[in-house]
Amino acid sequence: MKPPAIPLDFITALPPIYRAVIPESFLDANGHMNMRYYLHLFDDAGDIYVAQFGLTPEFHRMHTTGGFDLEHHIHYLREVRVGDSVTLYGRLVGASPKRIHYLLFMMHETNQTLAAIFECVNSFADLSVRRTAPYPPEIYAVIQQRLAEDISLEWLAPLSGVMSATHSPV
């Protein structure tokens, strides 16, 4: 199902998270970026995105914590090819004491189009017991502040509609 059209200036008004130029090693037999590298870029951007909440690699090392993706969906919208530039932007759409639900938007900078949307439910994890756990209060406060900002945006988040209600933190 195709997501609703979103004015590109709405997406680019979000803080940019990650930029990349697509290398030749990402090429597939069809002459464009292979689907595994979309996930690779979204994964790299997701690490940077959650670090904005205080969930940095250093924080995780100090507290023996991490994050577990519980579910995700990628909506491919435009072809991305070798040499193209992309920028990824994030928007939080839901949160609970243990989980966040967010979108990452891949903007195709070379031709000024939206290339893909990544939707994810991620859980905070206590790695000493390998189980989900509540966010520390100081982290959860930052998440709640960002969620309030993102919910107040003038445009509806283009949710896939396929994410499991049992995982949705909203």
| Tens digits of residue pLDDT in 21-76 | 999 999 999 999 999 999 999 999 999 999 999 999 999 999 999 999 999 999 99
| Amino acid sitting at position 97 | P
Question: How confident is the model at residue 72, as a pLDDT?
Answer: 93
- Report pTM: 0.93
CA distance 95 to 167: 11
- The domain made up of 8-151 is a member of CATH 3.10.129.10: yes
Average pLDDT over residues 80-101: 96
**What pLDDT band is residue 165 in, cutting at 50, 70 and 90?**
very low
